[in-house]
Structure 1
């Protein structure tokens, strides 16, 4: 359209500027032939308009084709965006499903330690849904988490993964893993909290079973080896006693017979100790039994009477045993043989503490045993008036003994009750403690669950 208009303009300019452009339309008398002007103008304008119309129609069809192309491109882009959005939504749903199906707590934090991710396990453990905690500070949303802000910040700064093990012996075990995400993102850090209590308990049970098996084999061999010299001692002592009774030795005869009797009792005590060692090695079972505790305690007292004798001091039978059992005590799930060993060990500790003191008619040794029910627990107290434990001994008495120890020994290995503590806290999920002072004596406290 621009080209014809330019040609018309150029033709107009090419006319002589000094001539009258209407001279061809004038008569000789100077009048204008307006009809000719109109016809000439129409003949010029009509082709021009036709040309303009052609170009306008052409431009219109080009616009229509362009609009159709743009519409097709728009539809294609919309399809691609919709398809891509659906893929992203599907992937997001898949990732969300994975995160929520994880059997561990997953917590996501940004650089400001605000919660960005909180899976279903975290909701179950804390009781708080994602909408209530998102955007909040971790310790504001989950105050009982066993992590410090310094630990989280150290992982963010170092960029290294940190694994923390948190456990309460006999109660629970957790593995806490902290790892930072790509520093190009503002996603910060991810915290995984895994409850490995069952796994740790299973591993401990397997290790205990192996140890018990090895201990049983060792105890059986020891009992057999000890029995040989003890049987020989019994035979020689019996023979010597018969000869002494038949011989006429005067005043020395009574002394010799008493010495022989002491040897015989010591040999009998050694036999009881060996047999108890064998029972201890074979006492552990896989499942608990419902048993009453008072009969187990009475059996332990009888066993202690056979085991603990001192030729130069007390015999366990000479100690005043006070029994105070509550009525109608319920049976509890337990390992009876193991509880008996715990009670015997406590009586052994009391026996040697009582032997460490001097007694007279006004001050006699005693052991006080109480068994009662308190709410959902069974309480067992064994107290005595023997030598008290020092503060250091009270701290160490339940700790395992190690031959290579960096600090001075405060409680001798033969007085420690670490295995008894292990039986109560691990095998029976109970509690065990000790108190000791000069005024009230020493008291061992045991708490066992009723169910």
Structure 2
């Protein structure tokens, strides 16, 4: 109020104020009418206060309305924040649960892949390793940390999968199956699987060691063959033995009649024919006795098979096989096996070896048959200047028994040596399949390597001859 009066006074007393404006507040003598000034100032003040109060009231109403709206907006925002927070918490919980499940699934898959008995290798198109399981570590000797990211063939050069196999599997989008085997050592089944619906093209290589399964299958097959051979040998021997005995009896009776001279006197004109007939009868008797010996060997083979290995002297088995070969092996217009020179080089005190005697006899007989064919072939080509010879070596070498059967007949080519121990598969391109099959020694190789857990190899030269190497474990 005081400030307003002072302001009014200044306005009235200011020399710059227009005289007409101050006229109502002055007397005629020029003095100030303070009563009018006070009344005017009070009225102006009341008006200003009223306007200010009205403005404040309007501002308060507007502020109140704004506060209500803000409270509503705040409530909506709080509700939205709560909803969003609840949704985020739910999404986070679901994400955590999903992540745990993914980790559990990944750990489960990793454990499965690591515990697989197969070699499992993941590769990209360039042959870089993306996965390397525990079996791969054991086979290659390289840890997964050192293998992943490296080229497969730089750390595992022995694997038979090539980059062409990977490209072929990716192009055809079909699994590619390979089989790799080293007879007598191991057999592998290799499968290349292309990865489908994957970010980066690649393959998974599975290497399955099927050696034990193949050995078991081969043993079952060979046991079935041996059983069939034994049954066949027994049937053939029994069917042939009875009529053969009758034929031999008739031959001996006829020979006795000729020797008695009752049929033809010795001084008759047919005495030369008589000698010729006697020679034919003697030859027929010798052949009959040879057939009789073969039948006895067949019966012995049929009865001698034993599922359990038993200790035996290999030299005795070798000598018995030589006797069988002398009685059974012969070729038309060829030197008899009995006329072949046999050199024996046996060490003293040869230890006994656990073996299947009958099967081992068949192995030696197969080798003698193979040698006899080569010797007869070379004897026909060389004539009298050639002396067919078989050399036998038996000796102990550390914990095993070493045998060598060497002959100087026609040797084997590199191609024949490569396929000598493989089973024969008939081909239309082979002119004489029976002869080709007869030159294979797959059964002998199976008996030595699988049944006796030994080793068998061949070295040969076409001009020098062939040597078969056999090694049998003593224990």
- Normalising by structure 2, we get a TM-score of 0.75
> Equivalent of 1:73, from 72, 82, 87?
87
Contact 1:27 1:33 in 2 (8 A): no
Distance in 2 of aligned mates of 1:436 and 1:112? 44
Deviation at 1:185, TM superposition (A): 2.6
Change in CA separation of 1:86 and 1:443 when aligned onto 2, cut-off 3 Å = closer
> Equivalent of 2:128, from 114, 119, 129?
114
> Which residue is equivalent to 1:380?
403
Deviation at 1:235, TM superposition (A): 0.2
Q: Hey, which of these two has a bigger chunk of helix by percent? A: 2
Change in CA separation of 1:39 and 1:65 when aligned onto 2, cut-off 3 Å = farther
SS of residue in 2 equivalent to 1:193: strand
User: How many residues in Structure 1 have an aligned counterpart in Structure 2?
Assistant: 423
SS of residue in 2 equivalent to 1:268: helix
> Equivalent of 1:249, from 249, 261, 266?
266
Bigger shift: 47-56 or 153-162? 47-56
Distance in 1 of aligned mates of 2:165 and 2:302? 44
> Which residue is equivalent to 1:154?
168
Distance in 2 of aligned mates of 1:420 and 1:64? 90
> Equivalent of 1:87, from 83, 91, 101?
101
> Equivalent of 2:435, from 412, 433, 437?
412
> Which residue is equivalent to 2:138?
124
> Which residue is equivalent to 2:292?
271
> Which residue is equivalent to 2:24?
none
Distance in 1 of aligned mates of 2:94 and 2:460? 77
Contact 1:383 1:444 in 2 (8 A): yes
Change in CA separation of 1:158 and 1:282 when aligned onto 2, cut-off 3 Å = farther
> Which residue is equivalent to 1:225?
239
Change in CA separation of 1:112 and 1:435 when aligned onto 2, cut-off 3 Å = closer
2:441 is equivalent to residue 427 of structure 1: no
Deviation at 1:426, TM superposition (A): 4.3
Change in CA separation of 1:127 and 1:286 when aligned onto 2, cut-off 3 Å = farther
Distance in 1 of aligned mates of 2:427 and 2:125? 46
Q: Structure 1 regions of 5+ residues with no counterpart? A: 1-25
Contact 2:294 2:324 in 1 (8 A): no
Distance in 2 of aligned mates of 1:129 and 1:163? 26
> Which residue is equivalent to 1:342?
363
What is the CA deviation profile of residues 350-407 of structure 1, one whole-angstrom value per residue up to 9, with x for unaligned ones?
Answer: 45655636898x986543211134456533112234x424648955765656676413
Change in CA separation of 1:311 and 1:249 when aligned onto 2, cut-off 3 Å = farther
Change in CA separation of 1:447 and 1:46 when aligned onto 2, cut-off 3 Å = farther
Distance in 2 of aligned mates of 1:157 and 1:128? 30
- Normalising by structure 1, we get a TM-score of 0.78
Q: Structure 2 regions of 5+ residues with no counterpart? A: 1-36
> Equivalent of 2:250, from 227, 236, 243?
236
Deviation at 1:89, TM superposition (A): 1.6
Change in CA separation of 1:404 and 1:83 when aligned onto 2, cut-off 3 Å = closer
> Equivalent of 1:191, from 180, 184, 205?
205
CA RMSD of aligned residues (A): 3.7
Distance in 1 of aligned mates of 2:414 and 2:214? 31
Which is higher, the Rg of structure 1 or of structure 2? 2
What is the CA deviation profile of residues 155-174 of structure 1, one whole-angstrom value per residue up to 9, with x for unaligned ones?
Answer: 11121121112222333222
> Which residue is equivalent to 1:48?
59
Contact 1:262 1:311 in 2 (8 A): no
Contact 1:322 1:369 in 2 (8 A): yes
2:126 is equivalent to residue 101 of structure 1: no
What is the CA deviation profile of residues 397-429 of structure 1, one whole-angstrom value per residue up to 9, with x for unaligned ones?
Answer: 656566764134499369625243443344345
Change in CA separation of 1:197 and 1:87 when aligned onto 2, cut-off 3 Å = same
> Which residue is equivalent to 2:13?
none
Contact 1:291 1:332 in 2 (8 A): yes
